[in-house]
Structure 1
Amino acid sequence: MVEHKTNETDASTAPSSFSHERFKWYAVLTQSGMEKKAKATLEERIKKLKMTDYFGQILIPTMTIEKIDESGKKKKVEQKMMPGYLFVQMDPVHKATFGCVKDTPKISSFIGSAANQDPKPVPDEEISRIFNRAAEATKASPAKPVTAFEKGEKVKVIDGPFTNFVGDIDEVKADKMKLRLLISVFGRATPVELEFSKVEKLKDGE
């Protein structure tokens, strides 16, 4: 029997191995802000349908980072890497697994799915890259001078799991010194919230 992972797992504590001889990884889109609820509901549904043998790990792409508050003290904060995403490891040969996931409340769809076709799996290497890079981003960056940003402007990510990605500014939260970027992930514009210090304006020629 396959052990079904029911514990909450973020990117900073994700297993070192993401491969399995029978299972494949799939990227699932959830309702906004409902990643944890969708994960818990899917786990309950898997147990209810007695399908634990056909599912492996279910991971939420988040990471725990250290931030410095106004008093200068460090604190650990959970931060979403890819809002609205859930990664599910399952057996694609057993077709009922797709229906189990798709019919779960708070889950919208598979990423990369086409009409009358099974969704395309995400390579193990890509899953490993996403979570292992996030595991390294655990410390706060040194304070940097505040830079003025504008909606629609392109910026480059310089720290965290999306380092070197270029995104379009969708919203500027000046009061929180954060930006909401749209970054292309798996061919889809994905919203990512980052602090001003995590990005820089593109230089000429970039």
Structure 2
Amino acid sequence: MKTASEEAPQSAEQPGGTEDRSAEIHEAGQASSKKTRRRGNRENGTGPTADAEGESQKSSRMAWYIVKVQTNREDSACEALKRRIKVAGLDRYFGQIIVPVERITEVKGGKKRVVRRKLYPGYIVVQMELTDDTWFLVRETPGIGDFTGAIGRPTPLLPHEVNRILAKLAEEKAEDAPKLKIGCRVGDRVKINEGHFANFEGEVSAVDEANGRVTVMINIFGRSTPVELEYWQVEPAA
């Protein structure tokens, strides 16, 4: 007859098995800890590749849309939308959000001044992927009205329209010399308000926007004579 000790199954552990198993568990724990730290760094934006991964996650289905906003609230509406996007965690569905402007030189009271003029007063331009969530977020932002286009079907900008807006944006960032705002065109009737020919009236025959000069044809001794003037030396004839 076999004893109880003889009938009991033999242990599967070989000599040294306990130590090997402990080492495996320790290594697995270290690997898991490292993976957790890397994931945490990415989520917190502290990892070495956090920025690169964030860029690669941007949606590839974006288009450009013009959005109506309250007049004179273009900048504040733009900032409010950016904040709501971040809070909602929808950054990957949005690109640039801009208020297109250009710099011009105006003359008031005989003095020149550079001002920034909005290209589309009452509108901002948004690069985004249109989904139910993004559409609702934009529509519900304070100061924002609706997308341009058919009701319920926003119309994206055409490529040449986008290029024009981005070109203006590039000019603004490059801080090129501001464009002169000359208030007359070829064929306009103007009055000279300063210089040797003050109070003469004539017709504009040429406009040099690059140098801020205009050529006016005036009548001198019965003959039509061209006179070149600074653009601020003329005003519309009454």
> Aligned letter for 1:95?
D
Contact 2:95 2:128 in 1 (8 A): yes
What residue number does 2:118 align with? Answer: 80
More helix by share: 2
Q: Confirm whether residue 52 of structure 1 aligns to residue 91 of structure 2.
A: yes
**Bigger Rg, structure 1 or 2:** 2
Contact 1:2 1:52 in 2 (8 A): no
For 1:101-120, what aligned pairs fall within 5 Å after superposition? 101-114=138-151, 117-120=152-155
Q: Which structure 2 residue ranges, 5 or more long, are not aligned?
A: 1-53, 192-206, 210-235
What residue number does 1:32 align with? Answer: 71
Task: Describe the shift of the 1:141–1:104 C-alpha distance in structure 2 as closer, same or farther (beyond 3 A).
Answer: closer
What residue number does 1:97 align with? Answer: 134
Contact 1:29 1:86 in 2 (8 A): yes
Task: Describe the shift of the 1:88–1:142 C-alpha distance in structure 2 as closer, same or farther (beyond 3 A).
Answer: closer
What count of residue pairs does the alignment treat as equivalent? 133
- Determine what percentage of the aligned residue pairs are the same residue: 32
What residue number does 1:184 align with? Answer: none
What residue number does 2:27 align with? Answer: none
Contact 2:102 2:168 in 1 (8 A): no
For 1:1-206, what aligned pairs fall within 5 Å after superposition? 1-2=54-55, 21-68=60-107, 70=109, 72=111, 74-92=112-130, 94-114=131-151, 117-132=152-167, 135=171, 138-141=178-181
Counterpart-to-counterpart distance in 1, 2:145 and 2:183: 38
Contact 2:101 2:168 in 1 (8 A): no
| RMSD, aligned α-carbons | 3.6
Contact 1:110 1:119 in 2 (8 A): yes
Contact 1:30 1:85 in 2 (8 A): yes
- TM-score when normalising by structure 1: 0.53
